[in-house]
Amino acid sequence: MLLAVGDPDGAERALAQVLRSGSFQDVIQNVLIELMHCASYRRDRVGFERWRERCEAEKLGMPPNILVDFYLKAGIGRARFRQFDRAEAMLDAALRIAEPAGLHEFVFRIERIKAGLRECETSLCVGPEAVAEPAVQNDAVREVSASLARFER
């Protein structure tokens, strides 16, 4: 939710807290995927690769829905870093898992993203010049983010 409203720092703090709590394996896997997604959102290529590698190490133990989410968000990250062939390969892998598993919502999302991928490549819509600095504009979101920052200490 914090990432959706433009607060990647707050999202990362919240996710890091969950990671430190040592929760269930599926929760940890989801957190790793979301941390990878946050890093790509911020255009932090080193962070993205670090979290992607952590996710790769968890792949064998991921149920289909989490594995599809990993491939989807890794594909989005690759596209953000203008690695469109690799992004397409990741999205294809996600689709190959989602369809037989009956993960229809994922199938629709993946197909929609794949349909626009080459258009983005052509127009460079994922380039750094098209990215505005995220601004947290809601007082409630700022309050949650500040609370997370205090909790982290």
Which residue in 113, 31, 106, 42 sits closest to 76, CA to CA? 113
pLDDT at 145: 59
Residue 137: pLDDT above 80? no
Lowest mean pLDDT among 18-27, 56-65, 129-138: 129-138
What domains can you pick out in the chain, each with its CATH number? Answer: 8-152 (1.25.40)
Which residue in 125, 35, 134 sits closest to 82, CA to CA? 125
List, as own/partner pairs, every contact residues 134-137 make where C-beta atoms lie below 8 angstroms and the sequence separation is at least 24, other chains included.
Answer: 134/6, 134/7, 134/8, 134/41, 135/6, 136/5, 136/6, 136/7, 136/10, 137/6
pLDDT-derived band at 7, boundaries 50, 70, 90: confident
pLDDT-derived band at 3, boundaries 50, 70, 90: confident
User: How much is the pTM?
Assistant: 0.75
In which residue are the tokens 């380039």 written?
127
Secondary structure letter of residue 42 according to DSSP? T
Number of Cβ within a 10 Å radius of residue 123: 11
